[in-house]
Structure 1
């Protein structure tokens, strides 16, 4: 069956690659940007953001909560029960509703939308870029009959150990950010040496 996304870009997040936006100049030690470049922005920019943004968010976004395909499906249905939306809007709403803990990727949202269309639970309200979807009568009945499933889609949280680990990474990246500008060659060289030591120490932990 021909899919609704076969001949069009499903949303603006596909327009430019994430890493293309983060491409910076190479500094004196072969690293991006002056130190790290726009890919690390204020608060590390789009890749890391305040609280480390969409990539890391409070609880680290995608990395902080591993959603199953069932979670994504139920989340989409529960949100469309509230109001029609397009794929990009669903991604933003899920991230906002979970305080940035969960930000599903376009690669999980759009195939799930197609699957729900195929199942007759949702329908496209238009065609082309930014297509909005709404529940069909069958979809409304499904949501009503599976209220617990809809609620459980929002209940999973990262455990404390996972959260502590990600917070520690955030603190480390915050310290690294200080070397982005306004440091001497000697300070930057000392930082690189320390980061290399830390990397080797981490690999040693894995080897023990």
Structure 2
């Protein structure tokens, strides 16, 4: 939960997306262009800057439900089913456009602290691979000690 589609960004970390979030995200993307299921999954990930990538286990049952509700139609003439909005689906998107816009905005809004944290985390990940593959045992031991110190310091920050 939380505002927006997909996992929340609160103190508790990321949760699971609610089914309504998946529905609105799919309908929103199909309002722009027809797509197959994989295209919708990657489209949601792209539109949320990687913050949310729904699983096939949530997308495909939702697509079937939307077909059953006559909000979308599946063209199964090719190798993969391509989904598009029906007139009823387009009306549903128009009716819920403000909610959809607010949800997309909430998934990409990052605070200054969140942006800085993600940048630092990516820098840390950049040094982990060379440590795993190219470092000596002594270097790995020194790195492990430093990581343990850092982990304890991070828990102390969370405890504040």
- Normalising by structure 2, we get a TM-score of 0.71
Does 1:197 find its partner at 2:143?
Answer: no
Aligned to 1:144: 94
Aligned to 1:75: 25
Aligned to 1:183: 135
- How has the CA–CA distance of structure 1 residues 63 and 163 changed in structure 2, closer, same or farther, with 3 Å as cutoff? farther
- How has the CA–CA distance of structure 1 residues 121 and 101 changed in structure 2, closer, same or farther, with 3 Å as cutoff? same
Structure that is richer in helix per residue:
2
- How has the CA–CA distance of structure 1 residues 79 and 88 changed in structure 2, closer, same or farther, with 3 Å as cutoff? same
CA shift at 1:139, angstroms? Answer: 0.8
* Structure 2 residues not aligned, in runs of 5+: 1-6
Aligned to 1:155: 105
Q: How large is the Cα RMSD of the aligned pairs?
A: 3.1
Aligned to 1:168: 120
CA shift at 1:174, angstroms? Answer: 1.9
- Normalising by structure 1, we get a TM-score of 0.57
Does 1:102 find its partner at 2:52?
Answer: yes
Q: Distance in 1 between matches of 2:126 and 2:8?
A: 18
SS at match of 2:22: helix
Q: Which runs of 4+ in 1 moved over 6 A?
A: 62-66
